[in-house]
Structure 1
Amino acid sequence: MRIGLIGVGRIGSLHAQTLHDLEIVESVFLADADVARAHETADKLGIAAAGSVAELFASRPDGVVIAAATQAHAELVHLAAAAGVPAFCEKPLASDLAGTHETLATVAAAGIPLQMGFQRRFDAGYAAAREALAAGELGRLHAVWACTLDPAPPHASYIPASGGIFADCSVHDIDAVRWVTGHEVVEVMATGANRGADFFAEAGDVDTANALMTLDDGTLVALAASRYNGSGYDVRLELHGSQRTVIAGLDERLPAGSAEPGVTWPGGPAYANFAERFSEAYVAELRAFVDVAAGRIESPCRGEDALAALCVAHACERSRREGRSVRVEEIAQEVPPQ
């Protein structure tokens, strides 16, 4: 398999190394808007770099991994569809719902496989929690708690185009809740606060947010997000059942400490960033994509999953801004499928 990779920034460089190390990938071909950066990354790995995205597609790769800037995702997926090349795309598929619908229609018309980059579906803890729930080990699920707590905020220039904390950060939790529980979010009530850098408020965003979400079976989900978790990168999903509770992300590297005297667990070191926390998941999701591109399996995370999660994130954002409960169908019906 020959895989193209577009975008060699922070996540793209990680994917480049992962693809290079996968034994089922014969070769990797890189492209980036910054051609010099593409060649620099390629030289470090001993792989090839293209002078442009057009050159990459002209080389007829067996699949393409899209890890470019958010605003370029939709256009690049359109190019993959036009070339008939199976695509893996980091979230979001497009920055808005209309663009997401349009891109999904293009993908469907072209008939190419599309896999979205929600790596938590490939994390061992999340998968085990899903299996335990499906097997009935938890009894009746009565509450879910999900969090993404970043150790430090991104650069100020990133925030205005990020889509807001729910679409940028919590969308991973939203997808994980849908995937693990097998249920859809139907209503949300959200709030947020700014007690950190001014650039969040200046962009109309918040640095800390919470949402109470209701699933279609009545289960309550509490969601938390923050850009200022100084202890480290804390990402967890808790499932509380009538018979048992299980928690994904509860291990020795949990970025938290007990206030109880004499308790030394967890022992650390704490997870510093997403690359450490989900290192194995990133490998597993790209291994799965190679199988998708080869036609061996169906996409384990479709574009429609990205659309569903984005609708919930937008509902949370509207709820935060307007101070009211928002039903997800209110968002979804505003931009009907094409």
Structure 2
Amino acid sequence: MRIGLAGAGRIGARHAAALRRLPEVETLVIADADAARAHALAARLAAPAAGAPDPAGAVEAAGSVPELFGAGLDGIVIAAATDAHADLVDRSLTAGIAVFCEKPLAADLGGTFQIVTAARASGIPVQVGFQRRFDAGNAAAREAVASGRLGWLHTVRSCSFDPAPPPPEYVPVSGGLFRDCVIHDLDLIRFVTGREVDWVVAAGANRGEDFFRDAGDVDAGTAMLMLDDGTLGLVAATRYNAAGYDARLELFGSKDSVVAGLDERTPVTPLTGREGPSDPYEGFLERFAGAYDAELRTFIDVVAGRAENPCPPEEALEAFYLAEACEMSRREGRIVGAGEVER
């Protein structure tokens, strides 16, 4: 099959390398707003490093993003800048091309809802890139809940700790800590527990650089969630975790307790018993390498008609509602019901 890639930046280059390794991808066509960057990535992939296996598929560079949609694609992976996502998804649906899109689908709730409506009307699959759903540990946690191994849950804790803040220019367009980062935890809690959230209460703090505060954002945040079956959810996130990148999910039940994301590279040092990790995770691309590969393999199965869409736009919309509720709670200093966000 012919798969397109819109966006040749950091995450785009990572997706391109993963797609190049999939035997079903006979041709990968890359486009970027910067045509030179697309050509450079295509050339790099077409000439693998010495000693590396040479994938059988071809790699091409389109002269422009519009040209990409005329390349006879079976599917497209959207990894462009956030503000381009909605337009690229809309173009894909108009062209009848199956879509994988990194979150968010759009910069706001209104745009996200429009995509949900358009995708539903078209019948064309749109898979959203919430890669944590494909992490082996998180998948095992979901199975532990579904099987009854944990009994009934009383507490779920999730964290997203970045080792260093993003560039200052990114913060004003990021959507803020809860929409940009915590949304992954919110989606994961819904996915793993199979429950909805009744209400949230959130708070944030600024202890680091002023550019977060100047943008109306926070560099650390926490949220408590009340799930619809009485389970408590706790989420914590920060842009300053110099020990390394840390993303964990802990589930505590009446029969057992489990944790996903705790291994020899988790950047946590016990005060007794052993030393801290010698090689902590540097970032999310490294921590979730296997998950990124797995979600793209699944997308190819969706394109081929072998699998159901594992993360449709409706799921992204629900996570966005919760992120909005958290941001509302942070700003207004109160409990916010999930249904208070305009739908």
State the TM bucket, normalised to the shorter chain: over 0.9
SS of equivalent residue, structure 2 residue 264: coil
What is aligned with 1:65? Answer: 77
Pair 1:222-2:223 in alignment: no
TM-score normalised to the size of structure 1? 0.96
Cα distance between partner residues in 1 of 2:166 and 2:271:
29
**Structure 2 counterpart of 1:31:** 31
Question: Cα deviation per residue 1:89-135 (whole Å; 9 max; x = unaligned)?
Answer: 00011111111111111212222111000111111000001101111
Supply the distance in 2 between the matched residues of 1:268 and 1:299 (Cα, whole angstroms). 38
Distance 2:275 2:309 in 1: 39
Return the alpha-carbon distance in structure 1 between the equivalents of residues 235 and 247 of structure 2.
Answer: 11
1:158 aligns with 2:170: yes
Equivalent position of 1:83 in the other structure: 95
Paired letter, 1:227:
R
Whole-angstrom CA distance in 2 between matches of 1:264 and 1:29: 48
Note the C-alpha offset of 1:314.
0.4
TM normalised by structure 2 equals 0.95
Q: Deviations over 1:255-303 (max 9, x none)?
A: 110112xx21554411111111111111100000001111111100110
- Aligned partners of 1:145 and 1:237 also within 8 Å: yes
Say which of 267, 272, 282 aligns to 1:272.
282
Q: Match of 1:149, as an amino acid?
A: F
Letter in 1 for 2:73: P
SS of residue in 1 equivalent to 2:280 = coil
Aligned residue for 1:157, secondary structure, equals coil
Q: Could you tell me which residue of structure 1 aligns to residue 300 of structure 2?
A: 290
User: 1:197 pairs with 187, 209, 212, which one?
Assistant: 209
Cα deviation digits, residues 290-326 of structure 1 (max 9, x gap)? 0111111110011000000000000000000000000
The AA in structure 1 aligned to 2:301 is D
Deviations 1:162-203 (A, max 9, x none): 111011001111111000000011200000000101100000
Residue type of the alignment partner of 1:133: V
* Corresponding residue SS for 2:316: helix
Partners of 1:134 and 1:266 lie apart in 2 by 33
SS of 1:235 mapped into structure 2: strand
SS at match of 1:292: helix
For the residues of structure 2 that align with 1:15 and 1:303, how far apart are their CA atoms? 20
Residue 55 of structure 2: aligned partner:
none
Stretches of structure 2 that go unaligned for 5 or more consecutive residues are 47-58
SS of 1:156's partner is coil
C-alpha distance in 1 between matches for 2:132 and 2:3: 22
Match 2:315 to one of 299, 305, 314: 305
Does residue 132 of structure 2 align to residue 142 of structure 1? no
> Which aligned pairs between 1:1-338 and structure 2 lie closer than 5 A?
1-46=1-46, 47-260=59-272, 263-264=273-274, 267-331=277-341, 334-335=342-343
Contact 1:88 1:117 in 2 (8 A): yes
- 2:50 paired residue number: none
- Please tell me the residue identity of whatever aligns with 1:292: V
**Which residue identity does 2:80 align to in structure 1?**
A
| CA distance in structure 2 between the aligned counterparts of 1:167 and 1:145, rounded to whole angstroms | 18
Give the total of aligned pairs: 331
